[in-house]
Amino acid sequence: MNDPAVEWIWGAAVANAIIEYPQYGADAAWSLLENRYISQEAIIQIFADGLAGPSRDAVLKALTELASFIGAHPGIGVYAPERYGLTKRLEEWRRKELIETVWRDPLDHVPWLYPPMRLLTALLPTEKACFLTLLEKTRLPLAVAQALDSPEIFERLDLLLELLLLAPDTSEDDTGNRWSWNRNLTAPKLLAATLKHAKEALDPRSDTRSIENLDAQAAPIFAAVAKTLLKRNDGVFLAFQWLGHLIGEEHRQSNRSSEIWHPTRAAMSALAEAMAGLDIGLDQGLRAFQLILPAPSRLEEMRKSGIGDQEMGWVTSATDAFLATTLTEQADARSQTRAPAATSLIALYHSVLIRRDQGLYVFQQDPFPTWRHWQPAQLYLSMDAPVAEWESGWRSLAEQRRRAFMTHDDTQADDPSFFHACVGLSLVDYLAFGAIARPKEAWECWLSLFDCVFSAALQLNWVRHDRWRHLLAKAFARLPHIRRVDDVEEMAAQLSRLGGDDELLVWCSAMILDNGVEAPLLAQAMLTHRVNLTARLADFIAWEEREGTRRPTSPLAEKAKEIMHVLHSGRHLLRPT
């Protein structure tokens, strides 16, 4: 049976022994792992008292020995059979050059636990800088994460901010005017701890607050984090790297079915606004992301081949880096995107498309377009000929689309084209419904988008061809708003271009009718183009409900029945003219 008083006595004895013989501090800590009946709280208390008195040097030496011991023996926190694998993965991680690997650590799934790590918290009251220095001495992300995962640290925002300001720099200037990561861990791990702090402080599981309300409540937290971060010597580099990571994480979270709120979006917004307020933008972003963005020499090779890098991996993508830089240029803290920056960012965006970056992938269940598409679309608005600029990007991807036709060759080569098509749909929205409406250009952009997307939507051998058809249907949903609702002749003309694909015709017609157009008027107008909407609806319903079909009736078939009911109740006699 455990006796807290006895455990405290043992802990005090061990602490005093360590102070008396600091060279054996690591060995004494190892004994704590073997014996659960020694109070670590007693050791921490005596160490903290010793740091404020004549025993300071002895305590620091003992804790330094402990940190060095962990750095030399990273397998100490896992079971013996797992140590070899951990050592190998750690060697691979240490060869990587990107600070992103600190946040998306491939070792995170390893159940690493070394209880004596808690002894380092004795430094927090009086020796915060030394606490951070010793964490760096471990050279182990798992150890740093365990130390900062203590409730006494991540639950206190003031302490997190103080530690963030004191943490060692993470970057150094290389020749060639770029920043590189110097492999320090504490500052990026502290930024990750602020996300945990916000999530625990607001506790989205505690009530039914909306995501918007939670984002608003998290905004002051991350405004303080951003302000502190940008006071650091390496603040710009670290801010860009963290923003790129947050953008990538938000993208990955969209592929998860969970409805639980996460503070990622609030952190992104606060950080971009703070950076824009200090006039941080494109130039600094290119320096920070030089290892991630396509190299000019490699880009020329990709342009000639038209294929792209096809690089994969869960690190910050070139798309995330581009969006991070774009967010700082388009933040509310600026009145508008600076014209030279917009031109350079469009060129950068086109290079990301050519590269065929992994961040361009749109997950199957994602709604689209999203803010990832709206940001590039806003850049086109600052151009003299936005539609022509968008078309130029589409033409540059012709070789990738050609390869995508051959499913045995390259089934994912259409990803950049689909992303760019979503940007085109976003551009239609901005031109039609923006603060300054440009209806003529919106119509021009819609026609261009239709011409580009329609051929892709017909390629049934594409594994993900349905998303192209869905995109085309969404484009038709905009049509009544770009033209007048009563301009049924033009809408009928565009529907007639869809040809003999009953499903696509029903889908696009339903989108038009859901946006204010009357079904009888549209059906009558389509007769002038030799398209009998009533008959096509009936054929589609008959096919969906044919005998022997095991799958349930599709929602589109139910919608087709609703339209048929409206047409019949209108008593319009529809015959080809």
Instruction: Summarize pLDDT for 162-186 with one digit per residue, the tens.
Output: 999 999 999 877 655 778 899 999 9
> What was the pLDDT predicted at 572?
46
Q: Which of 276, 288, 198 is nearest to 238 (CA)?
A: 288
| Domain-located, residue 140 | no
Q: Looking at the predicted structure, is the pLDDT value of residue 370 above 60?
A: yes
Please report, for residues 467, 469, 476, 521, the alpha-carbon distance to residue 454 in angstroms, rounded to integers and kept in the order given. Answer: 12, 8, 12, 25
Last residue of a domain, one of 421, 448, 482: 482
Task: Choose one of 482, 515, 550: the last residue of a domain.
Answer: 482
pLDDT at 69 over 70: yes
Indicate the number of domains in the chain: 4
- Over the stretch 419-469, which tens digit does the pLDDT of each residue have? 999 999 999 999 999 888 899 999 999 999 999 999 887 765 565 678 899
pLDDT value for 337: 64
- 128-138 vs 186-202: helix axis angle to the nearest 10? 110
Three-state DSSP at 394 gives helix
- Asked if the model's pLDDT at residue 492 lies above 60, the reply is yes
Are 426 and 444 in the same domain? Answer: yes
Q: Is 136 within the bounds of a domain?
A: no
Range with lowest mean pLDDT among 57-66, 305-314, 476-485: 305-314
Judgement on whether residues 345 and 375 belong to the same structural domain of the protein: no
Closest CA relative to residue 268, chosen from 307, 222, 314, 312:
222
Does residue 105 surpass a pLDDT of 80? Answer: no
Question: Is residue 157, in this structure, part of any structural domain at all?
Answer: yes
Q: Label residue 68 by pLDDT band (50, 70, 90).
A: very high
Q: Is residue 130 part of a domain?
A: no
Domain co-membership, 350 together with 201: yes
Please state, for a pLDDT cut of 90, what percent of the chain lies above it: 52
In this predicted structure, the answer to whether residue 577 has a pLDDT above a threshold of 50 is no
Q: Which of 326, 333, 325 is nearest to 381 (CA)?
A: 326
Query: Other CB atoms closer than 10 Å to residue 279's CB: what's the count?
Result: 12
* The pLDDT of residue 121: 92
Indicate if 308 and 261 belong to the same structural domain.
Answer: yes
Task: Using a pLDDT cut of 70, give the percent of the chain over it.
Answer: 88
What pLDDT, in 10s, does the model give residues 271-281? Answer: 999 999 999 98
Between 342 and 244, the more confident residue is 244
Model pLDDT, residue 464: 67
Query: Is residue 574 scored above 50 in pLDDT?
Result: no
Instruction: Select the more confidently predicted residue: 253 or 419.
Output: 419
Task: Report d(CA 559, CA 564) in Å as an integer.
Answer: 9
Average pLDDT over residues 358-373: 86
Among 315, 330, 358, the domain-final residue is: 358
Same domain, 189 and 278: yes
Q: Say yes or no: 293 and 410 in one domain.
A: no
Q: Do both 168 and 305 map to the same domain?
A: yes
Residues in a beta bridge with 181: 171
CB-count burial class (<10 Å; 0-12, 13-18, 19+) for 471 = buried
* Per-residue model confidence (pLDDT) at position 235: 96
Are residues 349 and 417 both part of a single domain?
no
For the chain, the C-alpha Rg in angstroms (whole number) is 30
| Any domain includes 417 | yes
pLDDT tier at 14, thresholds 50, 70, 90? confident
Q: Residue 294 has what pLDDT?
A: 72
Q: Quick one: pLDDT band at residue 517, thresholds 50, 70, 90?
A: very high
Co-location of 198 and 307 in the same domain: yes
pLDDT above 70 for 512: yes
Work out the pLDDT band at 573, boundaries 50, 70, 90.
very low
Residue ranges with strand state E in 213-281:
none
> By C-alpha distance, which of 412, 414, 411, 443 is closest to 427?
443
pLDDT of residue 203: 76
Q: Are residues 369 and 350 part of one domain?
A: no
**What whole-number distance in Å separates Cα of residue 265 and Cα of residue 218?**
10
Residue with the bigger pLDDT between 572 and 115: it is 115
> How far apart are the C-alpha atoms of 72 and 115, rounded to whole Å?
17
| Domain-located, residue 542 | yes
> Chain-centre distance of CA 66, in angstroms?
37
Same domain, 314 and 435: no
> What integer pLDDT is reported at residue 33 of this predicted model?
59
Residue 132 lies in a domain: no
Q: State residue 312's pLDDT score.
A: 55
pLDDT in tens, 48-57: 999 988 899 9
473 shares its domain with 503: no
Q: How confident is the model at residue 297, as a pLDDT?
A: 67
Domain residue limits at 435: 361-482
Residue with tokens 């990709």: 302
